[in-house]
């Protein structure tokens, strides 16, 4: 079972208003707890297989940088 992280940020919308719906906040927390555990497990596996700590961190950063927002409207 994933350890719960109590330090997630206050979630905000693009207009800087706070997301206050309890269920949305719960879902975001659960999702990020799960992501954190999966990434930690993969990171530890890499270390056990003698993969460079720095290379794994850079690869994770690259993955995040490549995420795209399918809901964002394209500007013409």
Domain that holds residue 50: 39-64
Considering the domain boundaries, does residue 50 fall inside one? yes
Specify the number of domains making up the chain: 1
What's the pLDDT tens digit per position in 18-70? 999 999 999 999 999 999 999 999 999 999 999 999 999 999 999 999 999 99
DSSP-H helix ranges across 3-52? 22-48
Average pLDDT over residues 8-23: 95
**DSSP-assigned letter for residue 12:** B
**Model pLDDT, residue 4:** 64
Is 6 in a helix, a strand, or coil? Answer: coil
Q: What is the torsion angle, in degrees rounded to the nearest 10, for the CA atoms of residue 63, residue 67, residue 35 and residue 41?
A: -10
């Amino acid at each position: 079972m994933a350890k719960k992280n109590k330090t997630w940020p206050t979630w905000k919308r693009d207009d800087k208003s706070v997301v206050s719906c309890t269920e949305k906040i719960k879902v975001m927390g659960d999702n990020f707890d799960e992501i954190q555990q999966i990434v930690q497990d993969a990171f530890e596996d890499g270390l056990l297989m003698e993969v460079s700590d720095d290379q794994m961190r850079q690869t994770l950063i690259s993955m995040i940088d490549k995420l795209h927002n399918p809901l964002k409207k394209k500007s013409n």
